[in-house]
């Protein structure tokens, strides 16, 4: 168990904001959870509201219980580790693999595989999500970063929150996107009638979602290959924004057209590039992953069909 003691030099409108500034190795979300679980004290009295006011001169104590042992079973599942060191690992997740345990998925997840493949994982995400700083959907492929200790986790989570961690995707969209580039700005939240889906919401509901897109290639009026740069990280953000554009991701069984034109097993959406600052030394790092087999094969077939040179895509297609 770790115990932190601080004295506020000035007033703060939120307890979690104060503690976040004082403890750089603990994420804001983790602090909020610790507060709600009764691990924060102001002038000796327990406070369970993250938004509680802090006055100048208040003594604030934060208790961090010892990490609970992992309850998820390690499994020898082959995964592609693009890079790893003592602080982080970058993984190229395959299609069909859920990132973490939950909702009936107790085996075969990326977390199960990571527990077997790596020598350590951060405990900030809890016993079901060790090491997981961010996630991508089950049928979305590509890169995500994993924290191997809590200090690295806090740094990486902060980079994502402050948008200094860059995440770039490629997706094949239905139809012909007319604009060469643009920015989609909406609020995204849980669908009002289908709780398994997300949706663009109005009237201040949901959370701000910002996505930049650039058309990479058009295949007649049938498909458009787009690059997406995330400025926020909402659940299903690219898939929801693509549908909002009127051009859903090809193969998407949830947000796409009922009748699919391509033999795709799930959405053709790939996390192609990840750029971040190393949590220990601040070095800027960039990682890339070629399109996976099924996505690459469909793109090659479209190139042949519409007379587009494959060499135009040497950065995303493996030779």
Write down the catalytic residue from 16, 137, 150, 252. Answer: 137
Instruction: Tell me which long-range contacts 40-46 makes (C-beta under 8 A, separation of at least 24).
Output: 40/15, 42/15
Of 40, 108, 88, give the one whose Cα is nearest residue 278: 88
Asked if 301 and 227 count as a contact pair (C-beta separation under 8 A), the reply is: no
Rg, Å, the chain Cα set: 22
Told to judge if 137 belongs to the known catalytic residues of this protein, a careful annotator would answer yes
Helices in 23-172 by DSSP H: which ranges? 28-36, 110-117, 150-161
Q: How far apart are the first and last CA of the chain?
A: 52
User: At what angle are helices 28-36 and 15-22 packed, to 10 degrees?
Assistant: 130
- Contacts (Cβ under 8 Å, ≥6 apart) of 257: 174, 248
Asked if 269 and 140 count as a contact pair (C-beta separation under 8 A), the reply is: yes
Instruction: Catalogue the active-site residues.
Output: 137
């Amino acid at each position: 168990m770790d115990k932190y003691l601080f004295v506020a030099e000035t007033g703060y409108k939120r307890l979690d904001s104060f503690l976040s500034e004082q403890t750089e190795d603990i994420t804001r979300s983790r602090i909020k959870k610790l507060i709600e679980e009764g691990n924060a004290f102001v002038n000796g009295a327990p406070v369970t509201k993250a938004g509680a006011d802090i006055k100048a001169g208040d003594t604030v104590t934060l208790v961090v219980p010892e990490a609970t042992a992992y309850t998820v079973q390690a499994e020898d599942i082959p995964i592609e580790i693009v890079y790893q060191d003592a602080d982080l690992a970058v993984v190229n997740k395959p299609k069909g693999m859920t990132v973490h345990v939950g909702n009936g998925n107790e085996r075969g997840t990326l977390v199960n595989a990571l527990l077997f493949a790596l020598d350590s994982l951060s405990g900030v995400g809890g016993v079901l999500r060790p090491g997981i700083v961010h996630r991508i959907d089950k049928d979305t492929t590509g890169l995500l970063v994993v924290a191997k200790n809590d200090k690295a986790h806090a740094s990486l989570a902060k980079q994502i929150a402050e948008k200094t961690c860059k995440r770039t995707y490629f997706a094949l969209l239905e139809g012909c996107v007319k604009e060469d580039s643009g920015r989609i700005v909406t609020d995204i939240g849980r669908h009002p009638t289908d709780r398994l889906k997300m949706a663009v919401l109005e009237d201040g509901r949901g959370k701000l979602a910002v996505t930049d897109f650039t058309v990479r290639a058009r295949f007649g009026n049938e498909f458009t290959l787009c690059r997406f740069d995330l400025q926020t990280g909402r659940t299903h953000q690219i898939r929801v924004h693509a549908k909002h554009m009127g051009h859903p991701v090809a193969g998407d069984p949830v947000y796409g057209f009922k009748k699919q034109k391509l033999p795709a097993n799930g959405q053709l959406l790939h996390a192609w590039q990840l750029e971040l600052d190393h949590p220990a030394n601040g070095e800027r790092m960039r990682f890339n992953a070629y399109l996976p087999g099924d996505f690459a094969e469909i793109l090659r077939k479209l190139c042949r069909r519409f007379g587009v040179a494959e060499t135009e895509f040497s950065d995303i297609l493996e030779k």
